[in-house]
Amino acid sequence: MRTGLLLILLALLLAACAGGDSGAGDPAEAVERYLQAKIAGDADGVRALLCSAKEADLDMEAGSFAAVEARLEDVDCQRDSDTDVVRCQGKIVATYGTEDLDFPLSAYRVVLEGGVWKWCGEAG
């Protein structure tokens, strides 16, 4: 009985130690979803994944690609070990008239807010 209780406690401890963001999902995936929402002009999607420090930029973020048709190409985002930086490869391609404009992706800061990873601007 005592051994069983200890095992349960140990399991709970291990679960807790596995990281506070275990239910928050993958920060790299959050960045990819954010980029997708941004180029689509999906204001709700952008709002859901934009950190509170950038709330004032919501209109700009959601309207940034409104004048063009944009898509993501060859996107691969990875978190820099346990840092708050997600580094992305690939690019946004925006079609304006008959021309394609390339926007190479870079490194972005992420923060955990309300148990959800959120995009928080470019990383310096």
Partner 1 sequence: MAFVKVLLLAGLALILAGHPATAQETPLETTAHRAAVVYAGPGDSYRQLAVLRPGNAVQIIERNSVGNWLHVRQEDRNGFVKLDGWVMIGYLNIPAALRLSRLAANTELADADPSAVNSRSLAALYAAPVISPISEAMRGVYALGQQLGNHSDVVTKVGDSLTFNPMYLEPMSDPRYELGPYDYLEDALRYFGPSTAGGSAAARMALATYVIFDPMWADKTLCRPGESPLDCEYRRKRPGVAFILFGPNDARHTTREKYTEQMGKIVTETLNRGIIPVLSTFSVHPDDPYWWQAIELNLGLLDVAAEYDVPLINLWAAARPLPDYGLDRDKVHMKNSGFTYLKFSTGHESWYGTSLRNLLSLKMLDEIYHSIILEADA
What residues line the site for partner 1 (CB under 8 A)? 38, 57, 59-61, 63-64, 66-68, 92, 94, 96-97, 99, 101, 103-104, 106-107, 121-124
Closest approach, Cβ 59 to partner 1, in A, equals 7
Least distance between partner 1 and beta carbon 83 (Å): 14
Among residues 32 and 61, whose Cβ is nearest to partner 1?
61
| CA 102/CA 77 separation, integer angstroms | 17
Provide the 10 A C-beta neighbour count for residue 113: 14
Closest C-alpha among 103, 77, 71 to residue 89 = 77
